A and B are shown apart, each in its own frame.
Chain A
Amino acid sequence: AQSVSQHNHHVILSEAASLELGCNYSYGGTVNLFWYVQYPGQHLQLLLKYFSGDPLVKGIKGFEAEFIKSKFSFNLRKPSVQWSDTAEYFCAVNAWDDKIIFGKGTRLHILP
């Protein structure tokens, strides 16, 4: 069965710091990988996704994620965070045509 593990439940950073949120998954076959973001009081929305091809995926708002197949990882990165990045971030995985599995989420708090 698929599973997703997010290493940090709560991360606090100062503005301009670099961000890396860890995500590992377990599944033996080909997977699709996602990061979703939920800003306070807003919809959950898709930040970026990986299906195939270049393992370095660029998303909205300067975020990127790198798929490392050998490590079963899909870590989210941003070189310099802003106060507006305060949100909860969810990693997710699915095998094609199967239901998506979400991680437990990482709550990111950026200090102004």
Chain B
Amino acid sequence: DGGITQSPKYLFRKEGQNVTLSCEQNLNHDAMYWYRQDPGQGLRLIYYSQIVNDFQKGDIAEGYSVSREKKESFPLTVTSAQKNPTAFYLCASTSDHSGQPQHFGDGTRLSIL
């Protein structure tokens, strides 16, 4: 079955460390997105990519970085510059350039030790 795979499901990071969250899709979708979900905050866009080798900052890109070397992969790195990284991270994709995510992954919960 086609879908989005995020790994790991739970991730722990020590302060000062960078950590990379994986997002892989086999839907052949062009556009991929990273959202951060905090209680009472809804979903906020971190980065998005509409095509391979291209990506744009979302609303809260500071302290994060991404790459899009392959169509099916859109990893997110949470750097030590991100002051409050504890959150639930969702990856999404869509087949067009409408900006509307159609499929979501199961998410990765990141916690700081």
B40, A99: Cβ atoms under 8 Å? no
> Which chain A residues (40-62) contact chain B, with CB distance < 8 Å?
43-46, 49
CB-CB under 8 A from B40, the residues of chain A are: 9, 104-105
With the chains together, A103 CA to B41 CA distance in Å?
Answer: 8
Consensus secondary structure, chain B interface: loop
The 5 closest A-B pairs by CB, nearest first: A104-B42, A102-B43, A44-B104, A102-B42, A99-B99
A-B contact pairs, 27 of them (CB 8 A): A32-B98, A32-B100, A43-B104, A43-B105, A43-B106, A44-B43, A44-B90, A44-B92, A44-B104, A45-B104, A49-B100, A90-B42, A94-B100, A96-B98, A98-B99, A99-B58, A99-B99, A100-B101, A102-B35, A102-B42, A102-B43, A102-B44, A104-B40, A104-B41, A104-B42, A105-B40, A105-B42
